[in-house]
Structure 1
Amino acid sequence: MPLLFELPTDILLEIVKVLELPDPLSLVITCSFLYRLSNERSFWISVLETTRRRAPIACSGYADLSQYDLEALKGLVVSWMKLQSNWDQPSPQIIQPVVSARLPEPAQFIFLVQGTDILVLTMGGNVLCWDARLAAPFSFPAIETGGRITRVSGPSESPGTCSLAILAEKATNPPTAHRYVITIQHHNGKATSFTSQSWSMFIPHGRYFESLVLTEDMVATIVAMQNREDCIVTAGAINGDTRAVDSTSILKLHRPVSTQDLTVTFAYRGHLYALLEDSVSVSIHHISRKTLQSGHCEQTRLYSCPIPRSHMNSAPFCYMIPSSPSYGIGAVFTRLVWDDDDGNSIFTSFTFMPNTLTHEPDDGVSSPLAFDSPCVTEHVRGELAHLGLVWLDHSGFNVIAAIRPANFTERWALVLVRYHPETSSSSVHSLSLPETIDITEIDSLCIDDAAGAVYLVDRAGIFSTLRYV
């Protein structure tokens, strides 16, 4: 049997493909013969391709790594490892000087495009495309919604293009709403176009729960009414600048929806997954791509993910979905948790719902995702003040949140809640902040796990960038 250093380079590169960082780097420092791999671009490309299948790296998810030179490839690996090392510390430190700029008026984050400098903000009834690195708007007309953004879909992405759907509601009598599909073209991390399509939407009477879903060829709104098992699915095809008439169908859940539930729907490879979380488990209703294309929303399969039991009371706060479930997380559910016997025992719970890729043949019926593992829940002492103070990153592994303490003599904290797929566990980290930033004044925040950056906007409209790598 040949020794490792006697193997041809192409065989060694095949071995590297199944290794995860930092193992490939450990391999090349074992001897001078293997160290020669570190001068091969193909070695670093292989390492990065393996890495970005499990977590975002500091470039677009569709970036052609073969176009990067040797030093740039090494830089991506070093950046990823330094960021993971920093974020794994109890108190991750800011590495670069904080950059701040004053916006024309206060704003809220809607979305950021993975591996780019592109942020999408809502400001004064408009949606803008913003350059995070320059802290300035791109030179595209704002999208005038005139309303409050109530829902944002997960993205639909292809090389050089990212689309998302938003729902904007106006406080008119009767209330009105419009659904927008925003398309961003980009190159080398910068936006090259920013366009949108819009549809008027019907707002039902009474208490309802709503999700917005976008795929490469369809946008859909899913509405679940309180105390009813039926979900109303309104879907429209998207084909370039052509909009098809919406079709409406009914999806039956396995039980009525209550005010104690969190409901959300996401899409993956044209399949829909309608989630119903009640603090005990998450029910996942799979609607196949073939079923959707037929104009119906019949459930193809029902999954269930148990949630670790808590003996405390809880109330739903919000749900969040990552850019893609392909990394291993389908959704994160946030609840406020308390103990009736102790008024100071107020917590925020973060429940990560894991999934795996099935690698089943793409027949349009079989689910590309499986939900075989229990959820993982982390409790953080204190509470979230409002929805603008929590954000899930692209991978679904990192949640950033500004936590208000139950005891008002304590200080607010900017926490990073991390999910660790290799151990199916979670951890809490307190992010360092400069003295110039008053966390109690923060009105909106988001985290970019590809760039290792945190973006903040305060009530005065000060935009700040914190870089942890």
Structure 2
Amino acid sequence: MCSTLLSHLPGDVLFDILKYCDLKDILSFSLVCSIFHGFSQKRALWITALERTRSFQQPIARPFHDDLTKYTFNELKRVVLHTLRLQRNWELPLPKILGNIKTFMLPGKLDTVFQIPGTELYLMHSTAMGNIVCWDVGLEKPVSAVVDIGGMITDRFLVQTEYGRASTAAVVSGHDLLMCHLIIISVEYGSGNVDIQVTFRRECFSQLLYLSVFSNEDIVGVVRCDLTLDVPRIEIVAFNQFLEDRMAVVQTDIEFRQLQQEVAVSFLDNDMTIHTSDSASHLLYACSKDLLPYCWNTDLQIQRVLNCSQSYEALETTQSLEDEDASSLQQEAILGANPIYGVRAISVLSEIRDKPSVYIRFWTAGTVGNISPRNAGDHIVKVSGRLQDWPGWLAFLLSHSGTIVLLAMKEEERSFLQLVRYDPLISTSSIHRLDIPDTIDLSIVYGLSLDDHLGVVTVVDRRGCLFAIPYA
């Protein structure tokens, strides 16, 4: 039998082999094989490996759209080691704190609107003053001008990211509650300066009920309802962000009484899905991209009627919930996610029993080009304990990737932070309790933030004290 040593293969073949390995294997091979070690000293290998990791819906220790070719070899190696360190730590049942916790006092009561993934930049909102400002937690100070947005943020969509820019859509209500606006807040960074702009603003009817705000690369809008009508029905109002005269109003036949207060919107290949739930079922309604004011949609009709009741899908909440009685379940929230990572939304339910539990339901992206709600898959995770009483927006949050949920929970009067991780590639999940020092009183936590690129969990308590806790 003729055998050939791996080292006898041509160099370009060996390099191609490494390109199909994950970061952990490449690092291991470089430690046991001199040829692979030589390849590991080249920038091109690590750029290829990190870009491949991102293509498999896995965050790395840089912003998602960052240009990796601008980094030196040593900088790329640090990104690789940071990414692997976080992966190893978050696979533990009790992930450990790795590094120093940054702690400082914020001036007044500030809410975290979002953190720019892979950075130390946080967009903060003062409800009392009706303004926003960007903080650099590493520098422990604001790094942008204060921007007045005209009121308090009452709803916001997930963060949209591109190279050097992060943005979110939000509904802002004036303090007199007589004025309401739909806005897009944009943060530009990376050139030495941080600049905040309100790039879109439309006045809304304050007397209407706004159930959800949404946006993607082209459009922004709301799902709303006029409760003064005899039979209130849901309608979708969408605007093109760049073409001022292009908008659409999609009137649906979904009666408000069919919905719960919790409504979320997700997108897949520009098609829209509206999610809502009650204790017994999760309802999904599809809206085709052809009805929405995208830049390419030149044949758009401004007003359309969508017969959702003929095509919606009701998926039983109690399936896969260990035969729990639906009457014992309470809907907490539904959050839209970015399907680029494989998850389009999550729903959170609480079980009201002597031994309470929380259920996290991940709605997977499904197949591009198939807008049927039946195309959505799901994965359910049960977490013991109850959600902590919460003075902020929610007692839990979804990471930017949509594959990790951070929950502030309580069990036998002890507060703790629980991490639920989901891998959409193999449809498996895991539960982890975070290591939090006793010096941080979780019973008075007001705000949470989670960066699954750098592995930093940030908590803000009611005193205005911020703690940035590193897990990589």
Shorter-chain TM range is 0.7 to 0.9
Structure-2 change in CA distance of 1:414 and 1:367 (3 Å): same
Note the C-alpha offset of 1:169.
2.4
Note the C-alpha offset of 1:237.
1.8
Q: State the alpha-carbon separation in 2 of the partners of residues 12 and 99 from structure 1.
A: 43
Contact 1:401–1:415 under 8 Å retained in 2: yes
Letter paired with 1:31:
C
Pair 1:379-2:383 in alignment: yes
Note the C-alpha offset of 1:152.
0.8
Letter paired with 2:384:
V
Q: Map 1:137-286 onto structure 2 (within 5 A).
A: 137-147=142-152, 149-170=153-174, 172=176, 175-187=178-190, 192-196=194-198, 197-204=200-207, 210-223=211-224, 230-239=233-242, 243-244=244-245, 246-253=247-254, 257-259=258-260, 262-278=262-278, 282-286=282-286
Note the C-alpha offset of 1:302.
5.6
Note the C-alpha offset of 1:372.
5.2
Contact 2:285–2:373 under 8 Å retained in 1: no
Note the C-alpha offset of 1:449.
0.7
1:330 to 344, 357, 364: 344
Note the C-alpha offset of 1:311.
0.8
Note the C-alpha offset of 1:338.
1.8
Structure-2 change in CA distance of 1:13 and 1:221 (3 Å): farther
Contact 1:233–1:250 under 8 Å retained in 2: yes
Q: Which residue number corresponds to residue 79 of structure 1?
A: 82
Note the C-alpha offset of 1:439.
0.7
1:106-139 alpha-carbon deviations (Å, 9 max, x no partner):
2211111122222111112322222122221123
Q: Map 1:86-165 onto structure 2 (within 5 A).
A: 86-123=89-126, 124=128, 125-147=130-152, 149-165=153-169
Structure-2 change in CA distance of 1:17 and 1:33 (3 Å): closer
Note the C-alpha offset of 1:318.
1.4
Structure-2 change in CA distance of 1:18 and 1:246 (3 Å): same
1:436-459 alpha-carbon deviations (Å, 9 max, x no partner):
211111111111111111111111
2:38 to 18, 25, 36: 36
1:355-388 alpha-carbon deviations (Å, 9 max, x no partner):
2464x6xxxxx65999453322222312232334
Q: Secondary structure at the match of 2:356?
A: strand
Note the C-alpha offset of 1:402.
1.3
Q: Secondary structure at the match of 2:291?
A: helix
Q: Which residue number corresponds to residue 437 of structure 1?
A: 440
Contact 1:417–1:429 under 8 Å retained in 2: yes
1:90-110 alpha-carbon deviations (Å, 9 max, x no partner):
221111121111111122111
Q: State the alpha-carbon separation in 2 of the partners of residues 403 and 228 from structure 1.
A: 39
Contact 2:133–2:144 under 8 Å retained in 1: no
Q: Secondary structure at the match of 2:274?
A: strand
Letter paired with 1:332:
I
Contact 2:259–2:277 under 8 Å retained in 1: no
Structure-2 change in CA distance of 1:393 and 1:96 (3 Å): same
Note the C-alpha offset of 1:304.
6.7
Note the C-alpha offset of 1:60.
1.7
Q: State the alpha-carbon separation in 1 of the partners of residues 329 and 453 from structure 2.
A: 33
1:249-289 alpha-carbon deviations (Å, 9 max, x no partner):
21345995333x74211234533222233455544433333
1:51 to 50, 53, 70: 53
Q: Secondary structure at the match of 2:332?
A: strand
Contact 1:108–1:388 under 8 Å retained in 2: no
Q: State the alpha-carbon separation in 1 of the partners of residues 254 and 14 from structure 2.
A: 50
Q: State the alpha-carbon separation in 2 of the partners of residues 14 and 252 from structure 1.
A: 55
Q: Which residue number corresponds to residue 454 of structure 1?
A: 457
1:286-340 alpha-carbon deviations (Å, 9 max, x no partner):
3333331324474797667665234141111112233x2111111121122123x
Q: Which residue number corresponds to residue 363 of structure 1?
A: none
Q: State the alpha-carbon separation in 2 of the partners of residues 158 and 289 from structure 1.
A: 22
Q: State the alpha-carbon separation in 1 of the partners of residues 86 and 374 from structure 2.
A: 29
Q: State the alpha-carbon separation in 2 of the partners of residues 9 and 32 from structure 1.
A: 12
Cα RMSD (Å): 3.0
Q: State the alpha-carbon separation in 2 of the partners of residues 369 and 38 from structure 1.
A: 45
1:314 to 317, 329, 334: 329
1:44-75 alpha-carbon deviations (Å, 9 max, x no partner):
11211111222221112111111211121111
Count of residue pairs brought into register by the alignment: 447
Q: State the alpha-carbon separation in 2 of the partners of residues 348 and 97 from structure 1.
A: 31
Q: Secondary structure at the match of 1:164?
A: strand
Q: State the alpha-carbon separation in 1 of the partners of residues 92 and 263 from structure 2.
A: 33
Q: TM-score, normalised by structure 1?
A: 0.85
* Structure 2 gap segments, 5+ residues each: 294-299
Q: State the alpha-carbon separation in 2 of the partners of residues 320 and 126 from structure 1.
A: 24
Q: Secondary structure at the match of 1:39?
A: coil
Q: State the alpha-carbon separation in 1 of the partners of residues 375 and 25 from structure 2.
A: 28
Contact 1:305–1:371 under 8 Å retained in 2: no
1:348 to 358, 361, 375: 358
Note the C-alpha offset of 1:85.
1.2
Letter paired with 2:363:
M
Structure-2 change in CA distance of 1:96 and 1:30 (3 Å): closer
Contact 1:129–1:142 under 8 Å retained in 2: no
Structure-2 change in CA distance of 1:436 and 1:304 (3 Å): same
Q: State the alpha-carbon separation in 2 of the partners of residues 335 and 287 from structure 1.
A: 25
Contact 1:229–1:257 under 8 Å retained in 2: no
Letter paired with 2:265:
T
Structure-2 change in CA distance of 1:9 and 1:270 (3 Å): farther
Q: Secondary structure at the match of 1:182?
A: strand
Q: Secondary structure at the match of 1:57?
A: coil
Note the C-alpha offset of 1:213.
1.1
Note the C-alpha offset of 1:230.
4.0
